[in-house]
Amino acid sequence: MPTLISRTTRSIDDIACPAIRILSFGDLTSYLCCSRLAANAQCRNCIRACGLRDTRDSVRCIRQGTGMALSGLFNGNRFSFGFDADQDRSEKEHPKPCTIAADAGDSGCLAVVINDIDAGSVQFRARQVVRVDWSSSSWRQIAVVDKPGQAPVFVDAKCLSLMDTASRRVDDDLWLLDIVFGFDTKTIPTGKLHFSTNPLTIEPSLQSIVWPLHVNAFMRDVYNRRALVVHAGVHRTRFLRDSLSDFNVDSLLDSASRIVVWMRSAVDGRMQYLDVGSPDVARACYRAGHSLYFNPEYDFQKRFIRGICQDLGMDFTRAIQDGGIGGDVEVFAVAGRHHTPWHWDAQHNFTVQLSGTKHWAIARGPQTDPMTNFHPRSSNSASLADDTIMLRRCGLVPDQLEPPGDSSEAVSRFTLRPGSVLYMPAGFWHRVDVIDDEPSLSINFSIDGARWADVLANRLLPLLWADPEWRRRPDMSQGPDHARQHFVSLIHRSMKSILEDLTTDPGLPDGVFEDARPASDEPVSIDGTFRDEHDGIACEQILRRSHSVVLHRLQPSVYSLSLGQARFADGFKPEFTMTLTVPAALEPVAYHLSTLAQGLTFAMADLRRLVPAADHPALNHLISELIFRGYLIPN
């Protein structure tokens, strides 16, 4: 972005760019040649920076001259420069000079005073441009300065209008809600908003993050459909500040689990990364002007990711892919100016701006829920090739892998400031810039739950592995025709029984939907109580051991229950595991159940004969739990 207004600019005569002269001062008489404006590259950039889609909006303004209702384009919360189409001619030809006291490089930090303000020792004139100190502002009182080094003066948000951003936007690709400047609940085409009219502090829950929307409205109208931006003040980050060492980068690096340095000087404009294992090295790089990407301490990540996953309905599937927590948390520490080129992520991302500002450009991608990230300007050519092949395998063509043009009307632009929240669906193109010299700190909650394809694969593969024919290595020595014929015959022979097993076995047992599962992963204890739906299990009840769940004895009276199985580079892992403890009196029964072959059936009466009558309530509890978790299936 070009420098629009310098620190020494005092009036219209000091501004070279005709677009900014028009947009800032209403100097329509000096630049009536619309072709000159449209051809000026700097003007195009400046116009986009001021919130207009392109030069056509400005050209239309110039062509229509005084006949255009300028108040409709420039007044209100988006622009309020104090001139209307019905002003007299002398005011138009001789607009009042506008005092500029800030760098336009601080885009996102500039505001225009709507009416004269008397703030005691400081007075602000209408149309005066001031700089906002977001770190000191609340969602109602805005801290502003009109001179470098001046102590901030607090004014009501209604007295100001931001220069480079809309206060609201609702369309197919983006909902942008500015609670500080011009939020109107009538503009939200959704159901119930959250009952709290005061912004919620961001905590480990989806509701606190997506406020002012109710979480149900977010899931219905926003999630995986469009991006959401909410500006509501830096006070929303209080919990994060307390949890993250007061946003002190040096302290955060000491507990970081992984640190990546983004090199300041990239080769051919490509992204350059450097993994560093030492916090001291990372600190030195940061002080030298490089940017950092790192994961905060694990307990913090687990609390937030688990809370968000549970609210998104991913509390079970979050762990399928890698046995992890369903995503991760990344902190981005930018020392100064920084550019992240166009790319998309395969994860759903919730970003919170902690300090400084960041400028975003986003556009809808070619595919929802893509299977992999895609960084077309990555310096890792091997990884880029792998990602490209995977995306081509998912049906995309090369043209769809080209990022949008900077001037495309499909691109939405906005600036995140301290306390701003962004939700970005998986697969949305985005480009991020820090154009100020001031540091910028943000945190990203990246949600990467499993897909239905993973759920099926983790149930299908164990069934194939249980069949000796599918475990055999292919024999290609007899030629391709023989190999193809054998492969097809295996499919025909096995698919009917596999389909029956997949549809009759509870591949998604009730236990995986349990909301109250302990977040601390404490074991479930069999203590003689049992679930209402399995009260009084009849002696004649026939039970069958499922194919998809394994009961494994870890030590006497301690067992693990594992659902699904997947193959990773470091071995085979279940997608879900819990621990079960049984009383000593039930140890023989539990061990017997753990040795049952897949598909074996038996009667409840057979188990009751193994324990005294006094232990039957505990036995009922054990069987109830195994049914609930999908290990046993009532016939």
3-state class of 374 per DSSP? strand
Give me the chain's average pLDDT, please. 79
Residue 477 pLDDT class (50, 70, 90 cuts): very high
Residue 575 has what pLDDT?
A: 78
Give the tens place of pLDDT for each residue, 369-395: 999 999 998 888 899 999 999 999 999
AA identity, residue 420: S
| Mean predicted confidence (pLDDT) in 483-512 | 89
Kind and range of the H or E element at 219? helix 215-221
Q: Collect contacts of 69-77 with beta carbons under 8 A, ≥24 apart.
A: 70/26, 74/23, 74/26, 76/161, 76/167, 76/182, 77/161, 77/162, 77/167, 77/178, 77/181, 77/182
| Mean predicted confidence (pLDDT) in 51-79 | 35
| Mean predicted confidence (pLDDT) in 293-321 | 83
| Mean predicted confidence (pLDDT) in 435-443 | 90
Residue 537 pLDDT class (50, 70, 90 cuts): confident
Comparing 12 with 599, which gets the higher pLDDT? 599
Nearest CA-CA partner of 607 in 584, 623, 630, 626: 623
| Mean predicted confidence (pLDDT) in 103-115 | 69
Q: How many CB atoms lie within 10 A of CB 182?
A: 18
pTM of the entire predicted model:
0.76
Kind and range of the H or E element at 355? strand 348-355
Residue 568 has what pLDDT?
A: 74
Residue 479 has what pLDDT?
A: 93
Max mean pLDDT among 7-21, 359-373, 490-504 falls in 359-373
Comparing 57 with 444, which gets the higher pLDDT? 444
| Mean predicted confidence (pLDDT) in 460-478 | 92
Answer yes or no: is pLDDT of 12 > 50: no
> What are the residue boundaries of the structural domains of the chain, listed by start?
107-162, 169-450, 454-503, 514-634
Q: What are phi and psi of 130, to 5 degrees?
A: -125, 165
What burial class does residue 390 get, using C-beta atoms within 10 Å of its C-beta: 0-12 exposed, 13-18 middle, 19+ buried?
Answer: middle
Of the chain, the percentage scoring pLDDT greater than 90 comes to 45
Comparing 278 with 43, which gets the higher pLDDT? 278
Give the tens place of pLDDT for each residue, 158-213: 888 887 666 677 888 999 999 888 666 666 665 678 888 889 999 999 999 999 99
Answer yes or no: is pLDDT of 520 > 60: no
Cα distance between residue 138 and residue 66, in whole Å:
39
Answer yes or no: is pLDDT of 23 > 50: no
Nearest CA-CA partner of 339 in 275, 427, 435, 250: 435
Q: Which fold has domain 514-634?
A: Outer Surface Protein A; domain 3 (3.90.930)
- Sign of torsion over alpha carbons 176, 180, 182, 183: positive
The pair of structure tokens assigned to 630 is 């999908």
Q: Which fold has domain 169-450?
A: Jelly Rolls (2.60.120)
CATH of 107-162, one of 3.20.20.60, 1.10.150.120, 2.30.30.40, 1.10.1040.10: 2.30.30.40
Q: Which of 54-58, 365-369, 583-587 has the lowest mean pLDDT?
A: 54-58
AA identity, residue 25: F
